[in-house]
Structures are given as structure tokens and as C-alpha cells.
């Protein structure tokens, strides 16, 4: 996929996704963040966490946009302890991994409760998805030249939502983009620029790329308050005044005499 992102279509998709990652990760706070794959895109560039890593399954090529120190690791077996990361970004990591569900389970393992995952993927319900299915048929008979990176699996938005739900993730943000058709020429790609404006308004769910932001929920966890806050609360509370029964009886007798 690294070479494909240097093509006109790849550069078009990369530029749009860089803007979306910059927007979505800027206000996610914590201490530790990780990006899985795609060194051509710096998904954590706008994030302000003090510790940020890049994990790839292949060595990073010289001149990559993401110059952060890279860890060579399988996405389904990350070298991080359980509940140790606050943010994990997956730019097309699920599309290119042979076991995307195992990758998502590993992300759920390393995220802290309340941690977030930001991921992008190719939308099968798009013009690019139709082209991908056509290329699969042509490849079986040895015809045509593919325009998309190979091998590649398009994971549907709703299928991915089901996986996230099973892993106790709650989707916070979901949107699509890149509505131009998949062409080889940069000139023709530019002529279809009007489709981005029209598509975002009239057929928003048919963009070539989708984004999801999900938060890890751990139900049944009780947050403990600091000891000083509990002490102040007890001190501020007023105790009810309880009158003795003898005093009450004396007042009743005085009322009767009167």
C-alpha cells in the first residue's frame, strides 16, 4: 500500500485522510498513543500526548512522512501491556491485515478503559468498492491491471460496527469522504472534484473512505474518589437535630395548662 499512495488516486485519498486524522485526534488526551501501519500518513501529528509510537509490519522506507521511531510488530501481537495506551490510530490497518478481527481484539486489550480508537478504511459500498470487486473477478482470469493495492479486503462499515460492539466499544463519530471515481490520471481526477461537494450532501454514505472513532467501555467499574474530597463532603454535611422525648412531653403539658 505504501507505493500505491504515491499514485494520483492514492495521494488524493491520503490528503483527505490526513485532514480527518488531524481533526479527530487533536482533542484526545492522555499519555500514550500508537499508530498501526501506513507510515506515509502521520495520524498522530496533531495529537499532544507525550509518548507516541508507530508500529509497522515492514521496515519504514526512507523519506516517509511519518518519521517517528517505528516498532516492527504484528498488529495482532503488540508489544504493549494490557490497558497501557490511551489512543490507537489505525489508518487502513484492518484492510491490509490477514486477520483484521484479531487486530481489533489486540487493540481492545492494550487500550485503557475510556481509551479511544480512530480508524479509517475502504468502503465497499462505493465506486471504489465496485472497482475492487471487478478487479477481483478479472484477476481470477488474468485480465486487467489493478488500480487498487493488492491484496486488500474492504470491510463494511456495519460489519466493523458489530466487531466493535462485541469488544465493548461505543462508536462516537462516523463519517465518509472521497466521492470521486477511481481513475489513473491526475487530470481526470481533478475534473471530478465537484463530486466531493455533491456526494457529501446527497449520498454521504457512499464515499470511498470511512472514519470511525470509538471509545472502550468497561461496565461495572466504580471510580474511587480522593480521600480529601470524601472528608470535605462529610464535614460539610449537617447532622439532623433530634429532640429528646422528655422535652417534647414537657412542652405538650405547658400547652394544655395554657
What sign does the dihedral 249-251-254-258 (CA atoms) show? negative
| Structural element, H or E, at residue 104 | helix 100-110
Measure Cα distances from 33 to 27, 47, 111 in Å: 13, 9, 9
Query: CA torsion angle for 198, 145, 154, 94 (degrees, to 10)?
Result: -120
Parse the chain into domains and list their residue ranges.
4-216
Q: pLDDT of 55-111, one tens digit each?
A: 987 777 665 656 566 788 889 999 999 999 999 999 999 988 889 999 999 999 999
Residue in this structure with the C-alpha cell 469522504, named with its chain if needed: 177
pLDDT of 103: 94
| pLDDT above 70: residue 176 | yes
Which band of pLDDT confidence, cut at 50, 70 and 90, is reported for residue 130?
confident
Three-state DSSP class for 59? coil
Q: In terms of CATH, what superfamily is 4-216?
A: Vaccinia Virus protein VP39 (3.40.50.150)
pLDDT band at 22 (very low <50, low <70, confident <90, very high): very high
pLDDT classification of 153: cutoffs 50, 70, 90: confident
Exposed / middle / buried, residue 106 (Cβ in 10 Å: 0-12, 13-18, 19+): buried
pTM for the full predicted model:
0.79
CA 257/CA 83 separation, integer angstroms: 75
pLDDT, tens only, 179-231:
999 888 888 888 999 999 998 888 888 999 999 999 999 876 555 555 555 55
Which neighbouring-strand residues pair with 173?
A: 213
Question: Cβ atoms within 10 A of the Cβ of 237, count?
Answer: 7
Backbone angles phi, psi at 181, to 5 degrees: -70, 160
Q: What is the pLDDT of residues 164-175, one digit of tens each?
A: 999 999 999 999
SS3 content of the chain, % helix, strand, coil (to 5): 40, 20, 40
Asked whether 209 and 13 are in contact (CB, 8 A), the reply is yes
Amino acid at each position: 500500500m505504501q507505493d500505491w499512495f504515491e499514485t494520483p488516486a492514492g495521494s488524493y485519498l491520503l490528503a483527505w485522510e490526513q485532514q480527518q486524522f488531524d481533526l479527530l485526534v487533536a482533542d484526545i488526551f492522555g499519555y500514550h498513543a500508537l499508530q498501526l501501519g501506513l507510515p506515509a500518513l502521520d495520524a498522530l501529528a496533531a495529537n499532544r500526548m507525550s509518548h507516541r509510537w508507530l508500529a509497522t509490519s515492514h521496515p519504514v522506507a526512507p523519506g516517509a512522512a511519518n518519521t517517528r521511531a517505528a516498532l516492527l510488530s504484528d498488529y495482532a501481537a503488540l508489544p504493549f501491556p494490557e490497558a497501557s495506551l490511551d489512543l490507537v490510530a489505525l489508518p487502513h490497518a484492518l484492510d491490509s491485515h490477514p486477520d483484521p478481527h484479531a487486530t481489533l481484539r489486540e487493540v481492545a486489550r492494550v487500550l485503557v478503559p475510556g481509551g479511544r480508537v480512530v480508524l479509517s478504511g475502504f468502503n465497499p459500498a462505493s465506486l471504489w468498492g465496485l472497482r475492487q470487486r471487478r478487479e477481483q473477478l478479472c484477476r481470477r482470469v488474468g485480465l486487467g491491471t489493478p488500480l487498487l493495492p493488492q491484496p486488500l479486503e474492504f470491510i463494511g462499515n456495519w460489519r466493523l460496527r458489530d466487531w466493535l460492539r462485541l469488544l465493548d466499544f461505543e462508536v462516537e463519530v462516523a463519517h465518509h469522504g472521497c466521492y470521486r471515481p477511481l481513475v489513473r490520471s491526475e487530470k481526470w481526477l481533478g475534473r471530478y472534484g465537484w463530486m466531493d461537494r455533491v456526494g457529501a450532501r446527497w449520498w454521504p454514505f457512499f464515499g470511498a473512505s470511512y472514519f470511525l472513532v470509538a471509545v472502550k467501555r468497561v461496565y461495572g467499574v466504580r471510580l474511587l474518589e480522593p480521600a480529601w474530597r470524601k472528608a470535605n463532603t462529610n464535614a460539610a454535611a449537617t447532622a439532623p437535630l433530634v429532640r429528646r422525648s422528655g422535652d417534647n412531653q414537657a412542652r405538650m403539658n405547658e400547652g394544655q395548662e395554657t
